Amino acid sequence: MQKMAGSGWLCRYGYLRSTECREAGDPGQDYLTIEQDDRGLRFVICDGVSQSYYGNLAAKLVGDRLLSWLSAADEDLHEDAKVRRQALDRYMRSLTSLADTIVQQHRMPPHIQGLWRDVLTEKKDRGSATMYCGGRIDFPRFTLPRGRLLIVWQGDIRCRIWNGAREETMCRLGERFDVRQQWNSKLGPLGDMPHVYEDQLIHDEAGGELLIYTDGLQVLDTLDRVLEKQLSEYSVNEAMKPSSDDMSYIQVNWHFNM
């Protein structure tokens, strides 16, 4: 677990590869990227689709490019989420030309031969795919006295929000997390346009929390709150299982004096 903190906020994040990837020395399918400055935090978690061609290719490209988009997003709160959503949809579609070139130029390891190589060749023609969830937290300042929270996603990566001790995921984000929604290197967004949630960061003096994690940590779904000790222990315990999946997470807590 890694940490970064400042006045009024704390961020924890981590990434563990699956048992299979660790034993084989292969890269994981998850990808996590994060940046921080005096304005706030920007972060993206991607979960490459294993049924696609090397989902880690799509995961890294989307992670890096989406982080750039979040960093460049204007600081005005859009009253109409449709505006931001349409802009993101256009941007994600614009990535397919570069992504398809990267996938087509990718060379399979020479030890992959026979039927498995034929299967991967067919997958290559269909592209590399990933699910993703990214966010931008703008700290309170003169132009944004209550800060801002911007979240974008496609797929079933878990994204949960608390105001104080009360979880508000359903009332804020709804039931819009679907494994059939993905980004594909050939086709761009699939299943639906990217989802966008945007609001003030601070609702009251209770503070808040954002937790994002991939399905390798789905054991956390049953917890009403996820404390630091639990996050660390569950990550290690799940990683020790022979059937473990890749696990990545980011948890941000904030409590600014108003």
Q: pLDDT tens for residues 198-227?
A: 999 998 888 999 999 999 999 999 999 999
Q: Which amino acid is at 190?
A: L
Q: Which amino acid is at 179?
A: V
Phi, psi angles (nearest 5°) of residue 254? -140, 150
User: Can you tell me the mean pLDDT for 185-210?
Assistant: 94
User: Can you tell me the mean pLDDT for 79-103?
Assistant: 92
> Measured between alpha carbons, how far is 255 from 70 in angstroms, rounded to an integer?
23
Beta carbons of 48 and 129 less than 8 angstroms apart: yes
Per residue, what are the HEC states of the chain? CEEEEECCEEEEEEEECCHHHHHHCCCCCEEEEEEECCCEEEEEEEEECCCCCCHHHHHHHHHHHHHHHHHHCCCCCCCCHHHHHHHHHHHHHHCHHHHHHHHHHCCCCCCCCHHHHHHHHHHHHHCCEEEEEEEEEECCCCCCCCCEEEEEEECCCEEEEEECCEECHHHHHCCCCCCCCEEECCCEEECCCCEEEEECCCCCCCCEEEEEECHHHHHHHHCCCCCHHHHHHHHHHHHCCCCCCCEEEEEEEECCCC
Question: What pLDDT shows up at residue 111?
Answer: 81
Question: What pLDDT shows up at residue 79?
Answer: 61
Beta carbons of 55 and 48 less than 8 angstroms apart: yes
Is the pLDDT at 112 greater than 90? The verdict is no
> Measured between alpha carbons, how far is 127 from 156 in angstroms, rounded to an integer?
20
User: Closest Cα to residue 89, out of 212, 181, 200?
Assistant: 181
Q: Which two tokens stand for residue 54?
A: 């090397």
Q: Which two tokens stand for residue 178?
A: 């679907």
Question: What pLDDT shows up at residue 168?
Answer: 96
What's the mean pLDDT when you consider all of the chain?
A: 92
- What pTM does this model have? 0.94
- Between CA 119 and CA 125, with CA 122 as vertex, the angle to 5 degrees is 150
Number of residues that this document lists for the chain: 258
Q: Which residue has the tokens 């609702």?
A: 203
Residues 6+ apart with CB under 8 A from 97: none
Question: What pLDDT shows up at residue 115?
Answer: 86
**Top-tier CATH class for 2-254:** alpha beta
